[in-house]
Structure formats: structure tokens, C-alpha cells
Copies of this chain bind each other. A is one copy, B any other.
Amino acid sequence: MDFKFLQELIAPAQTKIAMIIMDGLGGLPLEPGGKTELETAHTPHLDALAAQSALGLTIPVRPGITPGSGPGHLGIFGYDPVEYEIGRGALEALGVDFELEPDDVAARGNFCSVDTAGVLTDRRAGRLPTDTSRELVKSLRTIQMDGVEFFIEPVKGHRFAFVMRGAGLGDALTETDPQKTGVPALAVQALAPDSEKSAHIANQFVEQARKLLAGKQPANMILLRGFAKFPTMPQYRDIFGLNAAAIAVNGMYRGVARLVGMQVLDVGGTEIEDEFATLEKNWNDFDFFYLHVKQTDTAGEDGDFGRKVRVIEQVDGLMPRLMALKPDVVIVSGDHSSPAVLKFHSWHPVPTLLYGKYVRADGIAEFGERACARGSLGVLPAKDVMPIALANAQRIGKYGA
């Protein structure tokens, strides 16, 4: 939907919307003819809610497209993930909860191994342990240059987030990773005149890193990829008229929520219960809540069907705490599918439930993939869920006379 079109119709209201996102919610049966993770899970509360809801299956990006977490979230947040692309460098920085500023240039960094001639021998430095990586990041932080500030944040294993902050830095830059061993790392090149300065700085940084890391095999060099600025996104308050809060433990999701203008709340713990407690505590202060459950996706990616079932059951057990707050509209969905049998994100449409006083309920007392396929929301782009939720929260005025 064209945000300008929607924006002009947005009307103030006192209603509250809660969006519960179980990451990678959609699944597949273990055996042909069997049930998916969600269908297997014993979910009395979600089933009861489904009976009073409209159901459907959402397509996060485009039919057949498997989304990463960034695009998956942008979709269910109401944005077209193809139109609003978050560069990989920016995502890496968001993922470690780094507060990117509009002119920062971020990149994905990683340690690698080179021989004495500077030829790449291992692009991942033997998949360095995170602890070793953290120590090496500390030494990279000693690199200083005039007119630019560097931020280096450890991610996991051999990976780190790299950020340059300063005036006149463009992000039209080539990568240093040649994508193969047996050749030297490449120099960063500017693809536009506004990025000449950042190319020069990035190359100087790599050169100083090479000197600092000399002798620290296997991590004696770095690679930088996916240079990107923080994208400017239409903000929730402006396009939807919402004072929105995000409840998420992992940096990536907190980062994407911050990107669209949500206030990211302190959870004070890493459990799903802690997230629901945060929801209760902040209920009076916002009119939209996004609550993110990571554990469904992790179980799916681990190929652990049973654990994914148990996480869904755990969320089901917490649903009464949300419903006790008397939300006007509730969305339960995922950012994409992560079937345990695939051990990976997938392209499958995502089961989605929309509850509200003015929702035309389908009367299907089950929340599952095949139940949702029979629902009146149909198979719809994920980005259409927000306007429908806003309508049901009576936050959109009439179009035309």
C-alpha cells in the first residue's frame, strides 16, 4: 500500500494493537500426510482465539521467496521488503543492537587467514571461537584516524560489525572479499564520487588491521563486505499514527523495530515470560506492541521439531496474560517459515491470526497452517496485515464520499 494514501486516512483512536511474532512459525510435517509443528502443538488458547478471529496465510516477500529475518520482519511490519531493502552491513550492526546514525556506513567484517604473500588461505580463519574473536576486536578498536570514528562490535565466531562515522562518507563501495582462496583480498573501490573518501578510509583501516594482526594466525587479516548506510524508513508514528513499542531479546529484531520507529523496551531477561511481563508492565504507555519470540526459529533451524512444538505451546500458555490486558486487536503470526525438516528459513506462507471485536470471525477453532489456508484473509502479502489490523482498531477513516 502506498503510505501517502494510507497516511491521509489515518484517524486517531484509543485502541491498542498487539502483534505476537513467533519467528519462523510456519512449518512442515515430518512425514508426508503428517502435521506441522504448529498443528502438532497443543494450543488451547490460540485455538480459542482462532475461533473468534480471521485466519490467513501471509507471504513475507514474494511467492516462493525465502526471506532473511530483516525482510521477513519488514513485511509483517507493513513494508514491502523489496522496496525497502536493508543493506547487509546495516543489518549486521542492527543485529548487535548498535545504534546506527543516519550517516554511518556499516559493513560485515570477519577475520580470515592469509599467507606471507598476503594470499587468502581461509576466508573464515578456521571459524574462530567467539572468545578469541572478542579479544582481537579489542585490538582493532585501537585503530584511529583523523575525521572518522570507528566502531567494531563482535558478532559470533569470526564475524564482527564494522561502522565508520564521519562527514562525507558514501556507501557505494566494493567488498574486499574475493569469495575464494588462493588470491589476495581486494581493495575497496568507490562506485560513486561521494564514496571516494570512505573507500580511502576503509582501505587504510584494513592496512592497519593487517599490521596489528600480523602473527595472530589463523586470524591474521580481515575482510569487509556489504557496505551500507542505515536506510531511512517511513516511521510508524507518521504512516500509521501509532506510538509503538518493541519487545525483543535479540539485537537484530530490536534493530529492525528501531528502524521503523518503535521504542525498544528493556526486557530484563531472555525468557519468553520476561517478554510477556514487559508487555504487561508497559501496556498503558503505548498503543502498538510488537513481541518477538526467537526460540521457534532456533528450534526450526536446529531441525528440532519437538522443541519447536514445545516453544509454541509455551507461547500458547502465555496468551491469557496478553488477553487479560484486553487488547482491541491481536495479530499472531511469524516473519517467515522455518520448518524443522528443512533446518532453515523457507518460502512457505506463514499462518496468521487476526483477532478483534470487529473482525469478521471465520469460526475456525484451530490455529494451524491448513486451518489458516481456509481463512477469510486468504493468502495475502504480509505487508497488508497492518492496514487490516489498523482498520479493525478503527484507526482508518473512510476513503472518498
Contacts and interface: CB of A to CB of B under 8 A. Distances in A.
A201 interface: no
Interface residues of A, number: 70
Contacts of A399: 61, 65-68, 71, 81
A381 to B, nearest CB: 9
Interface in A58-73: 61-71
Interface in A1-57: 1-2, 5-6, 9, 26, 28-29, 32-33, 36, 51-52, 57
A390 interface: yes
A229 to B, nearest CB: 16
A300 interface: no
Contact of A68 (B358, B374, B377, B398): B398
A387 B63 contact: yes
Nearest to A374: B374
Contacts of A1: 62-63
Contacts of A67: 398-400
Interface stretch (A84-92, A192-200, A309-317, A318-326): A84-92
Contacts of A212: none
Interface string A104-139: 000000000000000000000000000000000000
Interface of A: 1-2, 5-6, 9, 26, 28-29, 32-33, 36, 51-52, 57, 61-71, 81-82, 85-86, 88, 91-92, 339, 341-342, 344-349, 358, 360-363, 369-370, 373-380, 384, 386-392, 396-401
14 contacts: A9-B65, A28-B358, A33-B363, A64-B386, A64-B387, A68-B399, A68-B401, A71-B399, A91-B400, A346-B358, A346-B391, A349-B376, A373-B376, A374-B374
